[in-house]
Structure 1
């Protein structure tokens, strides 16, 4: 990934690394800040489906690697790209870094996907922070593109 183009979003979440990691692995928690439905927990070697029912959208997510409380490596999207979720214990809580890379797009299409990934993953992290720190579901993903 060293010379490859990638997108990175990060956020300090004032919660234990175990709680933050679990929020990304366990769909019962993740639905409070990201997708609306999942076929199961993230488990290494498995492929699960995430859904965003309000947009009639879904994605197959291949779980490539899991290092408990440290790293989740996935591949998903259409066309697919890699998305890594890194968790770092900090004095104040947990730093979550989401990196997306392996884009097949070029030119304007690449710029659009970089913009979409940057905004999308920042929104996910904002929602996770609100949920884990304050118990609030801000409906950020649902309200990002409201129906007209």
Structure 2
């Protein structure tokens, strides 16, 4: 067994769907907004906005906006093979890798966030915060793909609650 540490974490989940649908959920603005984000803009390396149905490519940059959070996440697409792997910069100082494995009736989704600094603030906000967040969002993706429902909060405004991101499980 690998040793657990604060500089990375891995989350995995089996989801009954096709590889194509799963990659669409991660690799297009339309897909990622169907279960995860309020808005996702991907810009090509030339600065052109990608169409929402167009797959992202290495060298793209992104701007993400969530429901119930006023901030933006900005980063770069490091790798995107159009099939089963996406890697992005995330939280300004770390990276997230999404890998997909076909298991017949289901896809094994593995998310690894790594290169997380190990200072106390990063342990709390990135390791703890993102680890909890990704656990919820991966469960939300499973609910969406397998049952057609979303678990994230879109009806109640949580933006005025200072610790909402740490307290609400469906942020």
Tell me which structure has the larger Cα radius of gyration: 2
Q: Which of residues 151, 155, 165 is equivalent to 1:138?
A: 151
Question: Structure 1 residue 77 and structure 2 residue 79: aligned?
Answer: no
- Match for residue 68 of structure 2? 54
- 1:29 shift after superposition: 2.3
Calculate the aligned-residue CA RMSD, in Å.
2.4
TM-score, with structure 2 as normaliser: 0.74
From the two aligned structures, give the one with the greater strand fraction: 1
Question: Structure 1 residue 111 and structure 2 residue 123: aligned?
Answer: yes
Unaligned runs of 5+ in 2: 43-54, 162-171
**Count of equivalent residues:** 144
- 1:70 shift after superposition: 1.5
From the two aligned structures, give the one with the greater helix fraction: 1
Question: Structure 1 residue 26 and structure 2 residue 28: aligned?
Answer: yes
Q: Which has the higher contact order (CA 8 A, sep 6+)?
A: 1
1:98-127: CA deviation from partner (whole Å, max 9, x where unpaired): 100111242x22431211121111111111
Distance 1:62 1:111 in 2: 22
- Most deviating of 52-61 and 11-20: 52-61
Distance 1:43 1:61 in 2: 13
TM-score, with structure 1 as normaliser: 0.85
Structure-2 change in CA distance of 1:110 and 1:56 (3 Å): closer
- 1:33 shift after superposition: 2.0
- 1:53 shift after superposition: 4.7
Unaligned runs of 5+ in 1: none
